[in-house]
Amino acid sequence: MAEPVVRIPDAKVALSTASVYPESTATAFEIAARLGYDGVEVMVWNDPVSQDIDALRRLSDHHRVPILAVHAPCLLITQRVWSTDPWTKLQRARAAAEKLGASTVVVHPPFRWQRQYARDFVTGIWRMADETDVRFAVENMYPWRYRDREMLAYAPDWDVTKDDYRHFTIDLSHASTARADAMQMVDRMADRLGHVHLADGNGSAKDEHLVPGRGSQPCAELLERLALTGFDGHVVIEVNTRRAMSGAEREADLAEALAFTRLHLASASSASLPPASSSLPPSSSKPSTASSQAPPAAAPPPEPSSTPTGSSAPEGSSGAAMPSSRSSSPKSRAGFRRPKARRR
């Protein structure tokens, strides 16, 4: 009897287009294709290509890299992208996802000063989710901090698990900045976890978005849990590479992040397999070993910025992702299991 083959989880690993900043959206597609990512998540922001559905489709087709998710323009620097009305932004993000074959729209909770939008946000997200097969996955944020002062900038709350949403996005860099326990947050999200932004952090007030394995967040632990629980949403590498000294250095960081992610998704699946048959010759029954950690690489945290990935105080002046792609892919199921729809 042959040894069992390692089962690779259904989760796809995508590159956030914000991860190549200050390079362009088009560059993100090129790198994703060259490194073998399963797709991209498009951050809709000030880059005109990120706002242009036809241009994104051409990039996706040319590089054969599917667009798996669209990140709605929720940042401070994108307040005028796709209208100044927040609901119009989400409607356009949904339309873009449907036309591009993306299964998920990532959305941040409102800023506290967007009072009417914040009051209607939870019920409005449910209403929009009922109108499409695209998942609206609401992302955890963090308090803004300056020295010893803290400001709660998001409403209803930066901790999205305190409210009733159909789907969630967990962002480990945001959890680090919030100084929250990421795994406890994942426990609260339970089977509503539909999307992952994978990045590391060291608990700084800055939204660091380090390469996984370079900080203190449970990146490996989360990936292994996703594999063991049958997560079939998307894992998106959303890291800050703007301090890379060259294109080659940036690409090496993104290759390391991809290898780390696939290693821990696969190692958990391998560990859960039954042992090999005892009828095999002794040399064939030798247990296999797998490295559980990517090589450590200490990188200094990014400086305050108003760019797509990584920031200090007001998020939104920092940012998150950029464009993604590949051929149109069918809408995938929600994370772990399809949850029963509940309303407040």
Q: Is the pLDDT of residue 294 over 90?
A: no
Q: Is the pLDDT of residue 147 over 80?
A: no
Report pLDDT digits (tens) over 16-71.
Answer: 999 999 999 999 999 999 999 999 999 999 999 999 999 999 999 999 999 999 99
The confidence score (pLDDT) of residue 271 equals 54
Confidence grade of residue 79 (pLDDT, cut at 50, 70, 90): confident
Q: Is the peptide bond before 22 cis (omega within 30 degrees of 0)?
A: yes
The confidence score (pLDDT) of residue 309 equals 64
The three-class DSSP label of residue 285 is coil
The share of the chain scoring above pLDDT 70, in percent, equals 75
Report pLDDT digits (tens) over 203-223.
Answer: 998 899 999 999 999 999 999
Name every residue whose Cβ is closer than 8 Å to that of residue 38 and which is 6 or more positions away in sequence: 12, 13, 14, 66, 68, 326
Name every residue whose Cβ is closer than 8 Å to that of residue 103 and which is 6 or more positions away in sequence: 68, 69, 97, 133, 134, 135, 234, 329, 330, 331, 332
User: Smallest Cα–Cα separation from 206: which of 308, 76, 314, 106?
Assistant: 314
User: Smallest Cα–Cα separation from 67: which of 139, 134, 165?
Assistant: 134
Structural tokens at position 179? 């100084």
Report pLDDT digits (tens) over 98-114.
Answer: 999 999 999 999 999 99
Q: Is the pLDDT of residue 97 over 60?
A: yes
The confidence score (pLDDT) of residue 340 equals 44
String of DSSP letters for 86-150: HHHHHHHHHHHHHHHT--EEEEPPPBTT-HHHHHHHHHHHHHHHTT-SSEEEEEP---EEETTEE
Q: Is the pLDDT of residue 202 over 50?
A: yes
String of DSSP letters for 27-40: HHHHHHHHHT-SEE
Report pLDDT digits (tens) over 222-261.
Answer: 999 999 998 989 999 999 999 999 999 999 999 999 999 9
Upper half-sphere CA count for residue 113 (Cβ side, 13 Å): 3
The confidence score (pLDDT) of residue 304 equals 35
109 CB burial (10 A radius; 0-12, 13-18, 19+): buried
Cβ pair 224, 4 in contact under 8 A: no
| Residue range 175-194: mean pLDDT, rounded | 97
Structural tokens at position 337? 């299991």
Confidence grade of residue 274 (pLDDT, cut at 50, 70, 90): very low
